Amino acid sequence: MARKSNPQNETPPLNDLNKGISVRKSENFSEWYTEIVQKAELADLRYNVKGFLVFQPWSVLSMEKMYSILERVLQRKGHKPYWYPTLIPEGNFKKESAHIKGFTPEVFWVDEAGENKLPERLALRPTSETAFYQMFGLWIRSYKDLPFKTYQRANVFRYETKATRPFLRSREFHWVEAHCAHATKEDAMKQVYEDMETTKEVLHDSFGLPFIFFERPAWDRFPGAERTFAADVLNPDGKVVQQPSTHLLSQEFAKAFNVQYKDKDGKDKFTWITCYGPAISRIFASVVIVHGDDKGLKFPWAIAPLQVAIVPIKSDEALLKKAEALQAELSPFASVEIDRSEKSAGEKFNHWEMKGVPLRIDLGPKDLQNKVLTVFRRDLDKKEVISEKEILSFMQRVAKESQENLIKKADALFESRIRDVTTSAQVKEAIEAGGIARCNFCSVEKEGSYCAEVIEKEIGAQVRGTLLEKEKPFGKCVICGKEGHAVVYIARQY
């Protein structure tokens, strides 16, 4: 980008200001992420319970918008909101054996209240299947009640024993979980596909996150699920982050909680249940990671905590008055804030670029004199000078274009990382280069788990699964050399 000659509009180079990021994303992604969480004031890790963090306003404001977008889509598709208790009786977990086996190591238990020992341990919900379905068994009576589509916005607790990381992996995270009961298995699968469409509509089209939905192999299914599907988003360091997953649960859940209905001929039948879990706090991490750069955050317009920052270059009454007029003009259409700080112009520019505000308006004396505005677009890192009269239409154009530009850039990066391979050596090479390996595999049922273990031990990567539209194998399994019965994708997971 060619720099303007006006020194008051210059953006200082990386690290010129003491609050800049000290490492480059491409060179040390881990440290870059740590710094951006701290310096953009997204979360404070100093809360004195390990694995728990304090969400600061800049992340909360964005996540509130993310919740709003997701909940609007769910409600438009027939889901009704509920609020369930945070505590779940231990007996609920024991009703479905695969589920309790899968989650028990992660559960926080409450066994005392005041000075009294509780007659039954209570779990801080790690997920809420066993809470929802107890009530489904009481509420659902007839085929006319189906489909029964519910969701709740909640925080859940899991005793994560691996290293925690803000937003990506912590012991408390914030999410939406949707639970639906259906008359038939076919109806339930339609819901699973609808969940995937919802993920595209929200994650990709609103949040700008490219992903691939995989059907997970048998050894990586959700505890108690018959089929599991999950969206993987790619980090710049080559690791994938699992984002929303959706599950066709086995009927063991419906049987355990007696979730039955009478069909049209009066016969009692067990429902088929699905569950869907978009974790907003984890999705926010991917927004930071995928769009951020060496200057800081870049937010898609729809979920930016602040969409427009107005920056008077000097503490001048006339400039401030103009800033207030602009704020009044634009506020009905966007979130707008005036920077009234006593920082230098360069510090102000650096601050708002770090914060990822999509549009910045820089006001200087010459701008006022010439009836123009100097505007900075964070999506392009580009300045333009426009007429004062153009600002509303310009902002509305930036709102659309900046969203599209971030999506296009993220999509191109994601697609460039997928590599076709035919040997284990090529798998390792693709993974070490930060890519996703696409290859033949002997089986995604239990018998393929041996080859999956080899990949995990020798390459440090995982079989993510198969595409929804099954691809035709083009050779032998990359590990055991047997006939390939599936095309799988392999990557390192976060």
pTM: 0.93
- pLDDT value at 17 more than 60: no
Residues ≥6 apart with Cβ < 8 Å to 325: none
Residues 267 and 230 in one domain: yes
343-384 residue pLDDT tens:
999 999 999 999 999 999 999 999 999 999 999 999 999 999
Query: In terms of residue numbers, what domain contains 325?
Result: 308-398
Question: Which tokens hold the place of 465?
Answer: 């699964």
In a domain, 489, yes or no: yes
Burial class (CB in 10 A: 0-12, 13-18, 19+), 61: middle
Write the CATH number for 393. 3.40.50.800
Residue 490 has phi, psi (to 5 degrees) of -120, 135
In a domain, 255, yes or no: yes
In a domain, 327, yes or no: yes
Residue 420 has phi, psi (to 5 degrees) of -80, 130
Residues 273 and 314 in one domain: no
Question: Which tokens hold the place of 414?
Answer: 């994601």
Residues 286 and 353 in one domain: no
40-93 residue pLDDT tens:
999 999 999 988 999 999 999 999 999 999 999 999 999 999 999 999 999 998
In a domain, 17, yes or no: no
Residues ≥6 apart with Cβ < 8 Å to 244: 195, 199, 203, 230, 231, 276, 277, 278, 279, 283
In a domain, 410, yes or no: no
Calculate what percentage of the chain has a pLDDT beyond 90. Answer: 89
Please identify which residue in the block is written with the tokens 């990382």.
Answer: 417
Residues 50 and 190 in one domain: yes
Residues ≥6 apart with Cβ < 8 Å to 243: 199, 203, 209, 211, 230, 231, 232, 233, 278, 279, 282, 283, 286
Mean pLDDT confidence for 119-136:
96
Residues 152 and 284 in one domain: yes
In a domain, 451, yes or no: yes
Residues 431 and 339 in one domain: no
**pLDDT recorded at residue 135:** 98
Residues 287 and 387 in one domain: no
Write the CATH number for 461. 3.30.110.30
Whether the bond between 332 and the residue before it is cis, its omega within 30 degrees of 0, is: no
Residue 489 has phi, psi (to 5 degrees) of -115, 135
Residues 270 and 360 in one domain: no
Residues 369 and 450 in one domain: no
